[in-house]
Chain A
Amino acid sequence: MSKNGTNNDKTVHKVGSQVIVDMLIEQGVETMFGYLGGVVLPLFDKLYDAPINFIIPRHEQGGCHMADAYARASGKVGVVVATSGPGATNLTTGIATAMMDSVPLVAITGQVRTSLIGNDAFQEADTTGITRPITKHNMIIKDPNDLAQSIREAFYIAKSGRPGPVLIDIPVDMQLAQCPIPPKGEIDLPGIKNRAHGHARQITMAAQAINESQKPVLYVGGGVIISGASDQLRALAQKANIPVTTTLMGLGAYDQSRPESLDMLGMHGSAYANYAVQHADLLISVGARFEDRVTGNLQTFAPHAKIVHIDLDPSSIGKNVKVDIPVVGDAKQVLTALLNEVEYKPRKEWFETIAAWKAKHPFMYDKNADVIKPQYVIEEICRQTQGQAIICTGVGQHQMWSAQFYKYSRPRQLITSGGLGTMGFGLPAAIGAQLACPDKPVIDIDGDSSFNMTLTELSTAVMYKLPIKVALINNGYMGMVRQWQELFYGKRYSKSSLVNPDFANLARAFGCVGITVDKKEQVAGAVKDMLAETRPCVVDFRVDREENVWPMVPAGKSLHEMDGLDIFEMA
């Protein structure tokens, strides 16, 4: 942002395209994603022999999701490149997805040369204008002196504080100009305000509230994973003896095999998590933002609870609910400080009440059905991977079942588009995650309609020999849409089914392994074969077409007003 170009003799000058590559290497980029085009050719020329593992997707949206998932799985910054105009507009869904889930991402776009900007030149689009509301920050380089430092700043902004995507638009003449590389120094951005520690007085107040509480609940979001605070969270929950529920984005922040885990809360959360929140006298929110899918009717949300809200982003605090004890700070640092001030309390009655809810209302489905129940497929995948795989998903019912029936034990294990809910995220995400974690099994549990949106990336998985698995929960419907139509539109299934290809055959045409499973007895064997495969593998599970996700808090209802609990009791 500041002009760092000095004409002092010691400053190194290089051609802009090389400066970009040098800066990427300086930032520690090992793997990146991107697609070619006219105004990024100078950059790609310098990438020809750069020591960077460069992955070419089949569509820029796919590339952006790959970079995003690479970042989510590794904790590093994801990097994606696209050309101007259509290349840049194709990135937008991916950028918005990363924005909503606070993923550190740097998107580099080419732009027409500065003298043509504003002239409706070939493949010109106002990329910074288009992406301004969906980036944490963006910039266009119009002075060669700014190039190097702007790239450093982009990485810094992407990962600092609450992370997010940063876009740098680089006109082709900037890539061809001689640009100085100022020495690497401290980044000075007065507009970045991070208050990581948390106010000591607020922390003491929170600790007091915890120590006084009879019925506390920890309500944990993705912020804990981003902050790397899972160990501190576990220590706090155990020391102070508090049950823990997480949002979709928080899954993995707390080991779900532990008895104090209440699993996920919210619209499709567990009955016991939702009841616990509604009965709690204290709700300690860490790195979560009281989103409507989590809270149900805000007026009746956690009606008896005092609310402690720990978040790095001050704008998240007090946005949706009235908070009694706000703590602005990084989850890891605040939890560490809290840990010193909390005391153990037995809370026998509270845990007994919760245990009774758990016993009465576990996540359930009809295990005796003849057809393949989607939940069974996911349970089987969880069993055979011992809950250790990295799971990616599309958006819909299968995503919710993946949240309910796979049990996560470590952070960065579930990679899903929570905030934006982007169908088509699953497959490219699996590719990005596999590149970040080459030694771990990576499974995209996908819906048939979601998969249809980006399945062309199978070709990318084949090209780079990535042993990703796709477990298709194929109900032949936009299942989540169909469920809403069933429940709220009198079963009028308007336009919510597609004619699908034969996915296994299609997979084979791409060079993957393709398996179709239409009998319950074949499920376990197919999962085993899938996991043993070293090539990309698609298993098309033809599941019960009209299964619903339960429980469900209908939109606008209170969190404890769940439908579908009786269905559990029947089973």
Chain B
Amino acid sequence: MKHILSALVMNKPGVLAHVAGMFAARAFNIDSLAVGRTDDPNISRMTIVVVGDDKVVEQVRKQLLKIVEVVKVQDFVGQDCVARDLMLVSVACTAEKRPEILALIEMFNAKVVDIGPKFVMVEVAGPESKVEAFIDSCRPYGVKNVVRTGTVAMARYNRAAKTEE
């Protein structure tokens, strides 16, 4: 089962290596890892998608907490949260296919961000399933290039997630 973990970490060199190294050393599988600053310049947030049963994910959470620069870890599983992926995808797009593809883009609430004689670059954001579905729908036309961020997530207002400090 997929778990989204959200970790607050100190913004220090080596933190990413420490977290990534721990995952490798303990043979945990990461699906995606997204890192970014928070509004506090000393603190960054890592959003980690891990696949595993509850026991494995519990170990992941505890092992993360053992890292000195990790301040806090939340597990969003079973929680009401907003999870989003961002993808840039360039799709083969000849003049005669253009209307079809543009309709598809509109259906997915995606955005054209660049266009050339034979391709169109699209920005899609949303839950992972939507992003996946968009690629699937583009495949018949020819997907040339895909760039994706990992999942980022935030709990919805006033719903407690499993927090540990």
Q: A191-B67, A191-B71 are in contact. Are A315 and B10 (CB under 8 A)?
A: no
Name 24 A/B residue pairs within 8 A (Cβ), A-sorted: A1-B12, A1-B69, A2-B42, A132-B14, A132-B18, A132-B21, A137-B68, A138-B14, A140-B14, A142-B13, A189-B68, A191-B10, A191-B67, A191-B68, A191-B69, A191-B71, A193-B165, A314-B65, A315-B59, A315-B62, A315-B63, A315-B65, A318-B58, A319-B59
Q: Which residues in chain A, 1-57, are within 8 Å of chain B measured between CB atoms?
A: 1-2
Interface size of A by CB at 8 A reads 23
Q: Is B97 an interface residue (CB 8 A)?
A: no
State the CA gap A315–B60 with chains docked (Å): 9
State the CA gap A314–B70 with chains docked (Å): 15
The reply to whether B14 and A318 contact each other, CB–CB distance below 8 Å, is no
The reply to whether B21 and A191 contact each other, CB–CB distance below 8 Å, is no
Q: Is B66 an interface residue (CB 8 A)?
A: yes
Q: Which residues in chain B, 51-89, are within 8 Å of chain A measured between CB atoms?
A: 55, 58-59, 62-63, 65-71
Q: Is B17 an interface residue (CB 8 A)?
A: yes
Q: Which residues in chain A, 484-530, are within 8 Å of chain B measured between CB atoms?
A: none
Smallest CB gap from B12: residue in A: A1
B37 to chain A, nearest CB (A): 16
Q: Is A133 an interface residue (CB 8 A)?
A: yes
Of the listed residues B13, B55, B66, B68, the one surrounded by the most CB atoms of chain A closer than 10 A to its CB is B68
Q: Is B25 an interface residue (CB 8 A)?
A: yes
Q: Which residues in chain A, 129-152, are within 8 Å of chain B measured between CB atoms?
A: 129, 132-133, 136-140, 142
A residues touching B (Cβ–Cβ < 8 Å)?
Answer: 1-2, 128-129, 132-133, 136-140, 142, 157, 189-193, 313-315, 318-319
Of the listed residues B18, B63, B66, B71, the one surrounded by the most CB atoms of chain A closer than 10 A to its CB is B66
B65: contacting residue among A132, A137, A142, A193, CB under 8 A: A193
The reply to whether A314 and B62 contact each other, CB–CB distance below 8 Å, is yes
- B interface residue count range (under 10 / 10 to 19 / 20 to 34 / 35 or more): 20 to 34
The reply to whether B66 and A129 contact each other, CB–CB distance below 8 Å, is no
Q: Which residues in chain B, 1-51, are within 8 Å of chain A measured between CB atoms?
A: 9-10, 12-14, 17-18, 21-22, 25, 42
Q: A1-B10, A190-B10, A314-B65 are in contact. Are A132 and B59 (CB under 8 A)?
A: no
A419 to chain B, nearest CB (A): 15
B76 to chain A, nearest CB (A): 19
The reply to whether A136 and B68 contact each other, CB–CB distance below 8 Å, is yes
* B-side contacts of A192, CB under 8 Å: 68
* B-side contacts of A138, CB under 8 Å: 14
A162 to chain B, nearest CB (A): 8
* A-side contacts of B69, CB under 8 Å: 1, 191
The reply to whether B66 and A313 contact each other, CB–CB distance below 8 Å, is yes
Q: A133-B21, A157-B68 are in contact. Are A128 and B14 (CB under 8 A)?
A: yes
The reply to whether B71 and A190 contact each other, CB–CB distance below 8 Å, is yes
* B-side contacts of A132, CB under 8 Å: 14, 17-18, 21
State the CA gap A487–B10 with chains docked (Å): 51
State the CA gap A139–B69 with chains docked (Å): 11
State the CA gap A1–B43 with chains docked (Å): 12
Smallest CB gap from A328: residue in B: B62
* B-side contacts of A139, CB under 8 Å: 14
